[in-house]
Structure 1
């Protein structure tokens, strides 16, 4: 009898949560994102890989959950931070900035928005536990890893607030990183500037450089798409910062392709690779569709933010320029067929973190210390342009005010909650797979 009651309760709980997953998936992927049946299948296939992939692909479920919890350490709605919106372990990488320095930093700004800094921290600490599982690190060590990240984040904020360090000039290179990050940065040092061109393009019989459709995941654009990009190209050129604009001939288009094989959250968004003339060498640009950031559906509405960022492509590049010390000089945006796009360079010097050694606790610890410092830097760096009137206060001051003198309580809350939510993600992952079999695949 007791066992039957337990099972009934468990089944009811699972049923209600599965209904929540169903409603969220249907509302966002179908009604808001307007993903086709084919694209939803692609996305869900990627999300089925493991719990971490599910977590990355269900960001709207995360915000649906966390925005309903009254955490003690939120910044106030009238003093929000500029958040990355999707801060997780895999959204850090190595790349070259406009000063040709090879650095390690955050690399995805599609969900950039105004909101409590805590949403970035919450998403990151859950991802730490999920990636630790992937790397085979013992469960008993997970709390320590979360604490290491939080300690580094808090200490770096304090240094910014006390003017010991400047978030505007703070960057992470081989000189101040260790372990897997240093290894990844080192691996880029000997790359040639033509690395991306050599991999993705070729010279045809007439000596013209073109994208190599055979060796890459590139598809031909339609004649209409090609004409539309040519038509709006001047709008992109007008959006580039004047101090880095190189003259119209530099941006002359030589070839355009469509890029397939996007990340989990980007499935269904249009993405083009555009080959331009450059100066001594041709240059590859990426034009990616941008849409309303997921946090905007759940966080407090901010009129000031939208007055400055009414174009979704502009919002993405503004987020990047706010969080990076030296941003990509090719950043810009345009509108095509009522869709918003942002443009960035596909540099030869780009590489995801080499995770081969991260099963080692010490090297994971080194990595998370740097990631904690970078997280603090982007939250503090985003107010550097105070004179522009977007923010009239320092983010690090407001975050430290929200935490107050309770650093220990803050860390404890984040450790306890991240463990709870990581287990929630694992349960949701199982329920998601049940939902696919019981409902989605039968319907579609």
Structure 2
């Protein structure tokens, strides 16, 4: 069996590597971005994605993207992937999230039932240049701040903060022991302590009032996250009929299997049987302890459930399972995994199964992952799935409601978190050496973000025109 020889360069060699790459792609080279002359039609890229999606949900996806340039950006990872391929890159590879916009960060429970703040979407994960994630994140802050009607200075400050937090955190990780990096995480307690500190440092009546509002919102969001579990989901998503729970029909967002079978060319009973077979296959990919735990639950009902913006149209289901009795539910989410949008421009994933690509990337990047995270092949050819809990104290910030102070604080948390995720798979010493100690990197990336936000607005207008002209169909307010 072939083995790979692992190199272990010294710290000095790793620092030299990072500095060498500063010559290959100076940190200032990220400024002045302009779209490539042969840039593909952004609407055509979305149409290409739509070909493999559930056709009745494609208008829903378009409707959600049509809300604003910010929601459009959330669904436009494929467009940005095509743009990033022509941007400077130092050559320092990490496990990328692939879609690291600010709405793909949030809180969830660790296996120890502690609330953590982390990245929470890995549909596009793939090894690649660390700059890709940083630019995707930074541009999202510029676009979101503009969407919230921030001033130019406030918008720039939020973006600079996100990238500065990434650079400074990477410098910290470069000084840490290897296992300390692996165990690093942003807990609920640390997050609230940082918020309290931010409040204490504000000066002036207006800023203090804004800070107090930020604290109130943060505490409400955290408290809400603690209530989001399978028992709470049961009250929201299920109904008791003839003494048995079943998932409530809420088309087109939630459609139970009993109403869905014909869409897949099979009866409701056949679809239920197929799901049970998938569950058995999925269990084989779990560690023995998790598999035995899951076997204590039985499948009660299954439904298709629309999620997110960019994911709308890919196959996504929820499965209601029951343990000891009706008051012991477990909701699992089953999402389709397709080829990463980054695979159009970067080396293909080493995993032949896209579901495994998502799961392994998530395990690499997150400080702690769902105990039921796993993958399986779909019933039909060329369909792949990954599984996780639907609600496990998950919570996310309402970006559209953020004020400047709150978004700047959030930017700091996201920048630190992305750096920690990259430090787990990449070389924090080399990356920190490349980034340097000055603010040149964040200023350069912020310039890119402002230019890319301008382009995103143009793409959004082209998209909106495609809807108005009838080229694309959109179902709004769904």
Taking structure 1 as the reference length, the TM-score comes to 0.82
Q: Which has the higher contact order (CA 8 A, sep 6+)?
A: 2
- CA distance 1:433–1:214, change in 2 (3 Å): closer
Taking structure 2 as the reference length, the TM-score comes to 0.77
Structure 1 position 173 matched with structure 2 position 187: yes
How far apart are 1:367 and its partner, in Å?
1.2
Contact 1:174–1:182 (Cα < 8 Å) also in 2: no
CA distance in 1: counterparts of 2:357 and 2:450, whole angstroms:
33
Q: Secondary structure at the match of 2:41?
A: helix
Structure 1 position 212 matched with structure 2 position 248: yes
Contact 2:230–2:329 (Cα < 8 Å) also in 1: no
Structure 1 position 55 matched with structure 2 position 73: yes
CA distance in 1: counterparts of 2:385 and 2:416, whole angstroms:
30
The aligned counterpart of 2:271 is 225
Per-residue CA deviation, residues 43-65 of structure 1 (Å, 9 max, x unaligned), is 22222211111112222111111
The aligned counterpart of 1:278 is 323
Contact 1:195–1:348 (Cα < 8 Å) also in 2: no
How far apart are 1:278 and its partner, in Å?
3.3
CA distance in 2: counterparts of 1:93 and 1:346, whole angstroms:
14
Structure 1 position 311 matched with structure 2 position 353: yes
CA distance in 2: counterparts of 1:58 and 1:239, whole angstroms:
32
- Report the aligned-residue RMSD: 2.7
- CA distance 1:214–1:153, change in 2 (3 Å): closer
In structure 2, list runs of 5 or more residues that go unmatched: 1-33, 196-213, 262-267, 474-478
Alignment of 1:356-371 (within 5 A): 358-359=402-403, 361-371=404-414
Per-residue CA deviation, residues 83-128 of structure 1 (Å, 9 max, x unaligned), is 0000001111222121111122111110111111111110111110
CA distance in 2: counterparts of 1:22 and 1:272, whole angstroms:
27
The aligned counterpart of 1:425 is 456
Alignment of 1:110-129 (within 5 A): 110-129=123-142
Q: Which residue of 389, 394, 397 corresponds with 2:429?
A: 397
Alignment of 1:19-418 (within 5 A): 20-30=41-51, 34-35=52-53, 38-69=56-87, 71=88, 74-76=89-91, 79-163=92-176, 166-177=180-191, 178=195, 179=214, 181-189=218-226, 194-206=231-243, 208-213=244-249, 217-221=253-257, 222=261, 223=268, 224-247=270-293, 249-259=295-305, 261-279=306-324, 281-299=328-346, 301=347, 305-306=349-350, 309-336=351-378, 337-338=380-381, 339-355=383-399, 358-359=402-403, 361-381=404-424, 383=425, 394-403=426-435, 405=436, 407-418=438-449
In structure 1, list runs of 5 or more residues that go unmatched: 1-12, 384-393
How far apart are 1:190 and its partner, in Å?
5.8
- CA distance 1:412–1:114, change in 2 (3 Å): same
Per-residue CA deviation, residues 404-438 of structure 1 (Å, 9 max, x unaligned), is x3643211210111111111111221122223334
- CA distance 1:23–1:198, change in 2 (3 Å): closer
CA distance in 2: counterparts of 1:399 and 1:18, whole angstroms:
29
- CA distance 1:48–1:407, change in 2 (3 Å): same
CA distance in 1: counterparts of 2:353 and 2:271, whole angstroms:
20
How far apart are 1:249 and its partner, in Å?
3.2
How far apart are 1:191 and its partner, in Å?
6.1
Q: Which runs of at least 4 in structure 1 moved beyond 6 Å after TM superposition?
A: 16-19
Contact 1:254–1:277 (Cα < 8 Å) also in 2: yes
Contact 1:93–1:105 (Cα < 8 Å) also in 2: yes
Figure out how many residues of one structure are paired with residues of the other and give that number. 401
- CA distance 1:325–1:279, change in 2 (3 Å): farther
How far apart are 1:441 and its partner, in Å?
4.7
